[in-house]
Amino acid sequence: MKKNFLILFLITFFPLKVLALIEVDITRGNLNPLPLAVSPLSIDDKSKKSFEKILRKENIGSEISTIVENNLKTSGLFNPLSKEAFLQAPDIANLKPRFEDWNLIKAQALITGKVTYVDEKLRVEFRLWDILAAKEMMALAFTTVPSNWRRVGHIISDKVYERLTGEKGYFDTRIIYVAEEGPKTQRKKRLAIMDQDGANNKFLTLGNELVLTPRFNPTSQMVTYLSYFKNLPRVYLLDIETGTQEVVGDFPGMTFAPRFSPDGKKIIMSLAKDGKSDIYTMDLENRLVEKITNHPSIDTSPSYSPNGKFIAFNSDRSGYQQIYIMKSDGSNVKRISFGNGIYGTPVWSPRGDLIAFTKLHKGKFYIGVMRTDGKGERLLTENYYQEAPSWSPNGRVLIFYRETKTNAKGEGFSAKLWSIDLTGYNERLVETQTDASDPSWSSLLSN
Amino acid sequence: MILSKIYKNTLLILAACLVLTACATKKEVAIDKIQGQMQGDVYTGTDSVEYLADGVPDRVFFATNETILTTASRETLRAQAAWLRKNSSINVVLEGHADERGTREYNLALGERRANSAKDYLMTYGISSDRISVLSYGKERPVDAGSNPLAWSKNRRSVTVKAN
């Protein structure tokens, strides 16, 4: 079905493509990232001085272009060329690039732009140029408060990514995670949030109690997580903007493994009681609680399909941890993982076609994906310990955490965030101020 | 050509043998050391164990992925039950734990199940469920930071802690 659609798409649009335009194929591992030039956004002297005063940045134009450059590079699909080779000045390039010059340094695309200070606002315009076709591909302008300058860089990156790959970007997003410190036996854990590129890191809890598994609401800036406040492990709800927290529901035991429904109106989670764990939902508006599974086994790690009609979850009803799917009312339970080893943490892709998981086989941990019928299993990365994949909002990248093996004395423990493309390429350490685990990727903040 | 291949293969096999024998002796030493403290993969040592009273150990250990109580665990829990019957004003929290070789959420459930397995046993020896609460830490609070079978065996546990 998908394939047919793709072919149809290619046929209909092929003639157009020949005329213009460069295209980046993100469905394959991209071993030849597209060479492109990110010219610093040009800025007039007066604007430069104004922003220097407000933002304490010497040249906000080049700061923004650096953000764009880093984003595109991190995606693994683009290869931003060294600015030292650029022959044209930023302001002139933005008016009309001399395509031969950019061709000479092997750039296939060029990003130019201009920053101005207008009515105490930051106004940014940018253009994307196809060098080979000698054409403008896109031109956009927006105005915002100066303090939003980093987001401007991310939005430009998203627009460029979308124009060149045909899919939405994931740069104007945030990651919520658990910041870790201290010895392995007495880990101090705090909720923390940062921009997708690691900037604007902020701790959201003090570390007085253990916190785990924060997850974003896909439709708002709400987060659900597990807190051991007063030694009662319960699922909580946190509004990131206001900082208000509340416990979710009134359950007679530990609630854990929370996630939002795709419309953001329900929380799905596990309740552990008397040695068994079942899956429940709670409607956040009318507070109605519904029991979804009822089995003596451990049923946990539930994750909705993007249309809300199905739930993937983890159960050991077969004797070991495996992945199951069911209808959202709990009917039609079906096991889908049948490979060697045990499977956990199923997470439904935002595109709906894949389920990411953690697998343990012969002492190694893998992050992988399978289709929703369990077929087509692909393991993306192997390590001593790693788990808890979370999807980028466009379903192209997974972020997860990895822990190191300690030595004979129990030293050398660390936990870090990593990301990898769905293709299995472009594995990267995601830099954080402290050790980190349990990452969750937000939706796009704009649109 | 073929001859050199055979030579190469013999050399490889020889090298492999050497490595294997080296490993074998090393392993034996390690296993000997562990065997004093483990039965199957259940911890039987006393390294991390504390005592609620004389002769009343505070914790029981489990096999990988298991929640079944071993003979030794049942003996420990009978001692705890006798002590709780004698000290009827004391309430306890059973803290269930898992080792680091499992996903976080599943381990939270597994810790809860382990603590409940200990709770059920205490109840069959006459301790009221009102006096026992259960708390799972999953893999969040290991007693041994090691990444080896012995460390993991110490961490798969249910610990009885005085609540008042």
Question: Is pLDDT of A143 > 50?
Answer: yes
Predicted pLDDT of residue A26: 63
Mean pLDDT score, A275-281: 97
Q: Which of A136, A165, A194 is the last residue of a domain?
A: A165
Q: Please check the confidence at residue A4 and state whether its pLDDT lies above 60.
A: no
Instruction: Provide φ and ψ at A49, rounded to 5°.
Output: -65, -40
One domain for residues A284 and A210: yes
Q: Do A196 and A161 lie in a common domain?
A: no
In a domain, A447, yes or no: no
A165, A186, A202: which is the final residue of a domain?
A: A165
Residue B28 has a pLDDT of: 47
Say if residue A179 is in the same domain as residue A159: no
- Minimum-distance CB partner of B112 among A254, A301, A413: A254
Q: Is residue A151 part of a domain?
A: yes
**How would residue A19 be classed by pLDDT, with cut points 50, 70 and 90?**
very low
- Answer yes or no: is pLDDT of B16 > 60: no
- CB contacts, 8 Å: A253 with chain B: 112, 134
Average pLDDT, chain A: 92
CB contact under 8 A, A183 and B145: yes
ipTM of the complex as predicted:
0.91
- Regarding whether A215 and A116 lie in a shared domain, the answer is no
Do A258 and A121 have their domain in common? no
Note down the domain range covering A74. 2-165
A chain contacts of residue B103, beta-carbon cutoff 8 Å: 301, 314, 321, 344-345, 358, 387-388
Domain membership flag for residue A446: no
Q: What is the pLDDT of residue B30?
A: 53
Say whether pLDDT at B29 is over 70.
Answer: no
Q: Which of A156, A147, A138 is nearest to A51 (CA)?
A: A147
A379 in a domain, yes or no? yes
**Partners of residue B36 on adjacent β-strands:** none
Residue B102 and residue A360: Cβ atoms within 8 Å?
yes
B129 vs A: CB within 8 A:
no
Residue A294 lies in a domain: yes
pLDDT of residue A7: 35
pLDDT higher than 60, residue A434: yes
Looking at the fold, whether A363 and A214 belong to one and the same domain comes out as yes
pLDDT for A10 equals 33
Is residue A5 pLDDT above 80, yes or no? no
In a domain, A190, yes or no: yes
Beta bridge partner(s), residue A326 = A311
Cβ-defined contact of A388 to B146 (cutoff 8 Å): no
The predicted-structure confidence for A308-363, as pLDDT tens digits, reads as follows 999 999 999 999 999 999 999 999 999 999 999 999 999 999 999 999 999 999 99
In a domain, A37, yes or no: yes
First to last CA, chain A: 29
Contact B104 A298 (CB under 8 A): no
Mean per-residue pLDDT, A266-291:
97
Closest CA to B109 of A311, A260, A302: A302
Q: What percent of chain B has pLDDT over 90?
A: 77
Q: How many contacts, defined by CB atoms under 8 Å, are there between A and B?
A: 103
pLDDT of amino acid A13: 34
pLDDT score for A178: 98
How far is the alpha carbon of B93 from chain A, nearest alpha carbon, in Å?
Answer: 11
* Residues A30-48 pLDDT 10s: 578 999 999 999 999 999 9
Q: What b/e readout covers A19-42, taking b as 16+ CB neighbours within 10 angstroms? A: eebbebebeeebeebbebbbbbbb
A184–B101 C-beta distance less than 8 A: no
CA distance A202 to chain B (A): 23
Contact by Cβ (8 Å): A172, A428 = no
Same-domain status, A178 and A283: yes
pLDDT at B33: 55
Are A301 and B112 within 8 A, CB to CB? no
CATH number at residue A73: 3.40.50.10070
Nearest to B143 among A185, A276, A388 (CB): A185
pLDDT band at A6 (very low <50, low <70, confident <90, very high): very low
Residue A409 is predicted with a pLDDT of 87
State how far residue B118 is from chain A, nearest Cα, in angstroms.
10
Q: How far apart are the first and last CA of chain B?
A: 80
* Min Cα–Cα distance to chain A from B86, Å: 26
Do A92 and A230 fall into the same domain? no
Q: Find the CATH number of the domain harbouring A268.
A: 2.120.10.30
Q: How far is B146 from chain A (nearest CA, A)?
A: 4
pLDDT at A388: 97
The residues in B 86-105 lying below 8 A from A, measured between CB atoms, are: 100-105
Residues A297 and A387 in one domain: yes
State the total domains in chain A: 2
A359 in a structural domain: yes
Q: Which of A137, A165, A193 is the last residue of a domain?
A: A165
CB contact under 8 A, A314 and B105: yes
pLDDT score of A220 more than 90 = no
Same domain, A126 and A192: no
Supply the pLDDT for residue A21.
Answer: 60
Residue A238 and residue A142 share a domain: no
The larger pLDDT score, comparing residue A92 to residue B36, is at: A92
pTM for the model stands at 0.90
Asked if pLDDT for residue A219 goes beyond 70, the answer is yes
* B110-120: average pLDDT: 98
Judged by average pLDDT, the poorest of A2-16, A201-215, A295-309, B30-44 is A2-16
The residue in chain B having the minimum alpha-carbon distance to the alpha carbon of residue A230 is: B135
Q: Is the pLDDT of residue B1 over 60?
A: no
Q: Of B103, B141, B147, which has the smallest distance from its Cβ to A185's Cβ?
A: B141
**pLDDT tens-digit map of B41-99:** 999 999 999 999 999 999 999 999 999 999 999 999 999 999 999 999 999 999 999 99
The yes-or-no verdict on residue A135 having pLDDT over 50 is yes
- Exposure letters A325-353 (e unless 16+ CB within 10 A, then b): bbebebeebeebbeeebbbbbbbbbbeeb
Judged by CB atoms closer than 8 Å, whether chains meet at A298 and B113 is answered as yes
What is the distance in angstroms between the Cα of B13 and the nearest Cα belonging to chain A? 25
Considering the domain architecture, whether residues A409 and A302 belong to the same structural domain is answered as yes
Q: Does B29 touch chain A (CB under 8 A)?
A: no
- A-chain residues within 8 Å CB-CB of B136? 233, 254, 272
Helix, strand and coil content of chain A, in percent to the nearest 5, comes to 20, 40, 40
Task: Looking at the complex, report in whole angstroms how far the Cα of residue A76 sits from the nearest Cα belonging to chain B.
Answer: 29
